[in-house]
């Protein structure tokens, strides 16, 4: 199964894809990504383009891919450092996974105003950045956190409850779709999203052992 491609009719998506594909390494890709203005509404409102975190050395053992930066991420320029990130770190540790060995990315690199769900054109335009990140980093396993990320990998008709708890091969990688940490916070410590997220992360850890 191949990841969704940007619409051909969107010139901004095509330009992002061209610029991203030309970057020979992560450092260059990050430099080209940071001044991106492909989505005018997002570019006007953001403080930082949140490119993502990668391990200090070597290929990531796995990648975590979320939806978009929140307020804390926009302020700091780093992914998953707010409340959702704190819970994610806790659950990763409980599952036996080391965030330091992961690439931590989002399908959209700028915070949507009011933390709204990214619009389809925004996801399409930003797709070139994420696609090149995955090409360069080549993580063998990807954990898609939340429905927006799951749809990016598995298609627009994806239903999270139907696809989670097992791997899906996408572009030669094992993609696991699971709940976003924000859903785990919203439903509380005894809610199904938190239990499901921990179970899925534990299953991923088992495949990496």
With a threshold of 0.85, does the pTM exceed it? yes
Q: Give the pLDDT score at 6.
A: 44
Q: Is residue 76 part of a domain?
A: yes
The domain that holds 154 is classified in CATH as 3.40.470.10
Residue 6 lies in a domain: no
Q: Which pLDDT does position 9 carry in this prediction?
A: 52
Q: What is the pLDDT of residue 2?
A: 53
How far apart CA 28 and CA 14 sit, in angstroms, is 19
- Residue 83: inside a domain: yes
5 assigned to some structural domain: no
In the prediction, which pLDDT does 124 show? Answer: 95
* Distance, CA of 194 to CA of 135 (rounded, Å): 30
Task: Write out the chain's pLDDT in tens, 209 residues.
Answer: 555 554 445 899 999 999 999 999 999 999 999 999 999 999 999 999 999 999 988 899 999 999 999 999 999 999 999 999 999 999 999 999 999 999 999 999 999 999 999 999 999 999 999 999 999 999 999 999 999 999 999 999 999 999 999 999 999 999 999 999 999 999 999 999 999 999 999 999 999 96
Which range of residues forms the domain containing residue 163? Answer: 11-208
Judge whether 204 lies within some domain.
Answer: yes
Q: What is the pLDDT of residue 57?
A: 81
Spatial strand order in the sheet of 62-66: 102-106, 62-66, 141-145, 173-178, 167-170
Residue 4 covered by a domain? no
Q: Are strands 173-178 and 141-145 parallel, antiparallel or unpaired?
A: parallel
Per the structure, the count of domains in the chain is 1
130 falls within a domain = yes
83-87 CB contacts, 8 Å cutoff, 24+ apart? 83/182, 83/185, 84/180, 84/181, 84/182, 84/185, 85/181, 87/181, 87/184, 87/185, 87/194
The answer to whether position 103 is within a domain reads: yes
CA dist 153 and 58 (Å) reads: 24
What tokens were used for 137? 């980093």
């Amino acid at each position: 199964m191949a990841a969704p491609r940007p619409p051909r009719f969107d010139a901004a998506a095509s330009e992002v894809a061209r610029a991203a594909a030309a970057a020979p390494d992560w450092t260059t890709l990050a430099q080209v990504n940071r001044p991106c203005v492909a989505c005018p509404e997002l570019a006007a409102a953001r403080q930082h383009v949140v490119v993502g975190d990668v391990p200090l050395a070597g290929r990531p053992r796995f990648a975590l891919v979320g939806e978009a930066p929140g307020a804390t991420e926009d302020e700091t320029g780093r992914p998953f450092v707010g409340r959702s990130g704190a819970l994610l770190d806790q659950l990763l540790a409980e599952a036996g996974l080391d965030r330091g060995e992961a690439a931590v990315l989002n399908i959209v690199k700028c915070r949507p105003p009011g933390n709204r769900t990214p619009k389809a054109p925004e996801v399409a335009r930003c797709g070139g950045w994420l696609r090149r990140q995955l090409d360069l980093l080549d993580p063998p396993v990807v954990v898609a956190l939340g429905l927006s990320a799951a749809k990016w990998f598995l298609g627009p008709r994806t239903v999270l409850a139907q696809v989670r708890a097992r791997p899906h091969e996408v572009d030669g990688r094992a993609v696991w779709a699971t709940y976003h940490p924000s859903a785990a916070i919203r439903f509380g410590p005894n809610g199904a999203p938190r239990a499901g997220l921990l179970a899925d992360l534990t299953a991923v850890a088992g495949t990496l052992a």
